[in-house]
Structure formats: C-alpha cells, structure tokens
Structure 1
Amino acid sequence: MHYNVLRRSIKTKNKSVYRWYYSYIDPESGIKKQKVIPECKSRAEAYAFISTLPDLDRKTVLIKDIAKDMFIPGSSHVERLSEHGRKLTFETLQRHRGLLDKIVSAFGEMELKDLTPAIVDNHLRSLENRSGGWKNSFLETLSYIYKEAPFCGCEGLIKPNFMRFSRNTKKADIFTTEELNRFFDKELWENSRDHLIFLCIASFGLRLGEARALQLRQFIFDKNAVVIDGFCKRNGERTNYNKKGSNEDKKWRVAVAPDTTMQLVYNYSFLNQIQADEFVFVKEGKLPVRNEYLEDVFERQLTKAGIEKNGRKLVPHSLRFTYVTRMRRDLPAEIVQKIVGHTSIEMTEYYTRAAIPEMVAAIQNAIPAVNGLFE
C-alpha cells in the first residue's frame, strides 16, 4: 500500500471533530506528505478514495521524453524502423525531427495519455500559415510517437483517430505597399541578416529555399542581376538546379534586383567577409539558415509590424506573389515568367550556363520596374 489512511481529531469552534487523512512518501522529494480526504465519513470511504489516486510507483513519461531520441541516425528508434523495413533517408529523418520540435514545443510537457484529438485539432487549426499538407505531416510524425511510447514505459496506449486536413489549401495572398514598408522597417528586426534575406525574397521574387541557398557568386552587382541556380532542401542540402529541374535539366534563371537591395547585399557580404562560393545567410558556422527558423521569424515580424491577416494567407511565399503582381504592372507576362522561373516551353532555351549573359542582357529593361517594387 503506497497510501496510508488515518483519522485525526481536530478542534473547531471549541469542539473536537474527526477527519480522515491520507499520507504518502513523495517519490521525487522523499518527503512524507499528508492531505485531508474531502467529505469522508468512514474508513471504507477513505479507502475507496485512495483507490482512485495514481500509483506512486508509476514513472511519469512526458511527450518530450518519448521524442528525445527519435529519428536520430544511429538511435535505437531508427534501428527498429530499419529492422521493420523502414529505411528512411537522412532528408526524411531531418523532416521528422523538425516536426518533432513543433510537437514538443506544443505538447512536450504533457503525458501522451492526456493528449486528446480535440487538443491536437484545435492546435493545428490555429496555425493559419500552415498548409493542409504540412498539418497532415505533423499528424504522421505524431503517430510515430505513439508507436515509440511502449519502448519508453508507456504501455497500453492506443493512438486516437485524428482528423486529417484537405490539401486543397488557399493560395498565398499579397502585401499592400503600406504593409511592405511596415514589414521591412529596420527598427523592428532583431538582426540585419534576417531583414536582408526576406528583403531578397521580396526584391528578387524568390522561393524560400532559393533565398536560403544564395551564395555570393550568384550576384552580378554591376548588372543588378542575380542568377538563381539552385535551392536548399529542408535538411540544408543545396541543389545545383531549380524547382522542377534536375541535374540534366537545371532550369536556371536570372532575376533583376533593385539598386538598394543590391547595395545592401554588397555591404553585408563585405562586412562579413563572405567569399564567392559561401552561403550569404548562415546561422551556425557555414550552414544556411533553417527553413523552420525563417518561418518563425516571418510570423514574429508580422506581429511586430502590426500586420493583421484578417482571413488572408500571409506566408513567406506571399512576398514572391507580391513581387509577381507588382512586376506585372510594368512588364509583359512573358518577361515576368522568365524572371520568376514559372514553367513554360518558351523558358527552356534559357536554362543553360552559356545562356546566362543573354539572360542578363534580356532583362536589363526591367530594372526601372524592380526599383519601383516598394512604391
């Protein structure tokens, strides 16, 4: 018996009354504790009450404890998956680890038995900036926690049925001129690196992965041009081809850049002594900043700038959508298509290194348009 029952006499209003208590040794502190049993009138009721209390010998295992070593190369978790025929690539392991970080941030201090479908669904529905596909990936990673739980001492848990999300999500919305100016107000940013990488996204019409992959050699400063010749995957691996491309068909493109942004990139690279083949925007050592980090920065900056979504989908990709919309004010659709790299038959001939000089020359007349992006 881990709980003891006792009856004590206490004085109240000048008369003695009996009350029932239970005592136990706290397993964490080793201190003996004693608490009153509410509305108890007999020993039978006292024992009935303590029968409802948790087992003091049961070890509390939190969700963060289960997730701690999951999807780490060489861990017992990954070895078990491999033995069951699940040979996950390093990129897949990194993707799951990123999602585990989000799960632990939201539910890490809870026990898995207390995590209900309603709690998970309410959390995911509150993430307006996440797509249905991302939320389903979140649920997929969460299901692995239930499979790992028995190996961490959590027996008898059955994974609930979580409601999945439709992948037909709304396209990103665009910023107004006022919102762009508020978003890029330098006074609101914690550091110049984060400010500049998002300014590059907005100034060159980049995807987030393309911005993370930027190396100094891609900038042609005297021509206000940027060669987009690769992107960074979520695991930090840089490709030498663009989206929809491959090693055989790289689908490179060239974007024009505003004078002010090019000057800021030049100053930043000079100040930080960035070499031609080095990443411009790094977080740890020489590695590019992480995708999830930038998504979090974007959300914080919206709040700091006082930009309310009001039902709109404002995500980092909104800056690319805004770029396309604004460039279309002054340029034909075909030119904008080439700059932003949208798939078309006409674009194919441009995507070889030999064509880069011609591509740079072909878009020089777009410089006035790009200089008016934030006006």
Structure 2
Amino acid sequence: MEADALVRGWLASLRNERRLSVHTLRAYGATLDRFLAHLNVAHGRPADLALLESLTAADYRGFLAARRTEGLANISAARELSALRSFAAHVRERHGATLTGLDGIASPKVKKSLPRPIAPADARALAETTGEFHDEPWIQARDTAVLLLLYGSGLRIGEALALTGAILPLRETLTILGKGRKERTIVLLPPVRAAIERYARLCPYPASKDAPLFRGAKGGALAGGVLRATLRKARVALGLPESATPHALRHSFASHLLARGADLRTIQELLGHASLGSTQIYTSIDSARLLDVYKSAHPRG
C-alpha cells in the first residue's frame, strides 16, 4: 500500500474521529509530506507500507537532522515526532504494521514557558483601542466585542469566531463547542454582553442562526488574521509587549481568576481543558508574579 494513501486515511481519522482542529491537521499533514519526500530521496523510491516497516531509528534521525539544518527548534522537533508517532499508531491499529524505528527516538527536551498574562487595565484598554483603528462604527464595536469576550469569558479566538447568530438574544451563560467538540458553559459578564449587543445592533448584516455572528467587512466570517493584525497596531499604540496577543487575553482571564481566589477545577471547566494538568500552569504564573513583586520590593531582594 502506498504511503500517501496511508497518510490520507490517518488524516481522515484525525478529522472525523478525534476531531482535531484544522490547524493541527494542516501541521501534521505538512510533517508527513516532508517525511515522505525525505524518504523518497534517501531510498530512491516513493514510500510504501513495506518501506515504512523497514525503517530504523537512523532513518528517523536522518529526517530530523535534515530538518535541524533548516533551523528546526526543539519545540518544533517535538511536534514533528508527535505527528510521526500518531501516524505510526494509526498504521499499527488499522493495518497491523509496526514502525519500530521510532522506538529508539527520544523527544527533545522542551522548556515549558509560562503564558504571559496582561494586566486587567491593559486588557480592557487593548480591547477598546483595537476597535479605534477602524472608521466604521460597527467594525469598531465588533473588534471590541470579540476581545472582551476572550478576556471576559476565556474563549479561544477560534471559539469566539465560530459563534453564530443563534446565541442571540444573550443570556448570562453561553454553551460553547470547544476542542474535540466538547461542550462547556461560560459566563457572560455584563460588560461583555453589552459589547456584543452593541455590535449586533450596529452590524449591517442580519444575525441569522446559521450565519457567523462576527462578520468581516464584506459580510463573510471574520478571519482571525484580520483581528490579529489590528490588535498589533493597538499593542504598539499602547506600548504593550509582543506577548499581548488574542490568546494572551485567555491566559489573563485564567490567571486573574486564580489571583482572586478561584479554584483550579472551576478554571479548568471555564477554559475547557481536558485535564487539570493543563490548568495547573496558572499556579506557576501566580507564583512567578509574587516572586517578581517580592524581589522588586524587599530590601534584600
């Protein structure tokens, strides 16, 4: 069986069964495209199931070494290996073939960096200032509403942009379909509800149940790249660091809740994390902030 067909089947299973995001599928597909192209050059023929089964650890190391010459960092190398291991597991499960060469490959060590939250006043200013870079009042209201939703409710940007007019009229809570099509309930604070309602009143496009709630200038779905580009201008205008991104607003939501006494389980549910371990990183953020305050304030710091 040709390797290209195996890859197509694997990606289909990730999309239909595991429901991975479009971004993850694109990244995984690109990794396998590069890997198969490398094998074609190294072995002088297109890869098939028999060739994949014959690969040794040296073959995989050769691929990673080639990628390193292209400037691949540890975190990216770890992602490439994750894709290859996922593919190998699929081949074993669906076709009974074992790709043993991967067994001798250790993932590179990746230093876990802490998310960098934005101060509450800066988060609000970022949301409001981003809107000011447009001439159309409804687009100003749109950008402010989306960013307040990220900070006020902890949504991922993709989750916010996937909302439709079906959520109107707004209530105090909202059901979100997150990663893995897992549902969770979020809270809509009064300022967030007010911002979304103002946008809905000003938007020239009807808020139908099946249409995107947040629209682009020509009426289509708002693209995340458009919002990020405008936010970059606001970030510069406010003198905020490059870490002040849409996703940083979600981090800020979680870290500010923790600082105010919210428990990790509640934050886990609000963020839609599959495991508590993903949420526990915010305890490190809070500890790091306290340490910074101590060092700057203590006479022997």
User: TM-score w.r.t. structure 2 length?
Assistant: 0.51
Q: How many percent identity over aligned positions?
A: 17
Alignment match of 2:173 (pick from 191, 210, 225): 225
Note the alpha carbon deviations across 1:83-108, whole angstroms, 9 max, x for none: 999869899xx97xx9xxxxxxxxxx
Provide closer, same or farther for how the CA distance between residues 160 and 257 of structure 1 changes in structure 2, counting only shifts above 3 A.
Answer: closer
Structure-2 separation of matches of 1:202 and 1:86? 38
Matched with 1:212 is 161
Once the 2 structures are TM-superposed, how far is the Cα of residue 210 of structure 1 from its aligned partner? 0.4
- Residue 247 of structure 2 aligns with which residue? 317
Report what 1:163 is aligned to. Answer: 71
The aligned residue for residue 142 of structure 2 is 193
Partner letter of residue 191 of structure 2? T
- Specify which structure has the higher proportion of helix: 2
| 1:177 match | 120
Whether 1:280 aligns to 2:210 is: no
Deviation digits for residues 212-268 of structure 1, max 9, x if unmatched? Answer: 1011323562x4112112xxxxxxxxxxxx21x2xxxx4201111111220221222
Q: Quick one: which amino acid aligns to residue 172 of structure 1?
A: P
Q: Structure 2: any 5+ residue segments left out of the alignment?
A: 16-21, 38-66, 76-109, 135-139, 277-301
CA displacement 1:49-71 (0-9 Å, x = unmatched): xxxxxxxxxxxxxxxxxxxxxxx
**Could you tell me whether the CA contact under 8 Å between 2:175 and 2:184 is conserved in 1?**
yes
Listed as ranges, the matches of 1:1-375 within 5 Å are 161-167=69-75, 168=110, 170-186=113-129, 188-190=132-134, 191-218=140-167, 221=170, 223-229=171-177, 242-243=178-179, 245=180, 250-272=181-203, 273-283=206-216, 287-309=220-242, 313-328=243-258, 329-344=260-275
Question: 1:162 Cα shift?
Answer: 1.6
Distance in 2 separating the partners of 1:286 and 1:185: 22
**Pair member with larger Rg:** 1
Cα distance in 2 for partners of 1:161, 1:200 equals 41
- TM-score when normalising by structure 1: 0.42
More strand by share: 1
> Secondary structure in 2 aligned to 1:184?
helix
Q: Distance in 2 between matches of 1:160 and 1:322?
A: 34
Equivalent-residue separation in structure 2 for 1:226 and 1:183 (angstroms): 24
- Alignment root-mean-square deviation, CA: 4.2
Q: For residues 226 and 219 of structure 1, do their structure 2 counterparts lie closer, same or farther at Cα, with a shift above 3 Å needed? A: farther
Measure how far apart 1:280 and its partner are.
1.1
Q: 1:216 to 1:331 in 2, by over 3 A?
A: farther
CA contact (8 A) 2:154 2:271 kept: yes
Structure 1: state its 5+ residue gaps.
1-82, 99-132, 144-158, 230-241, 346-375
Shift of 1:277: 2.7
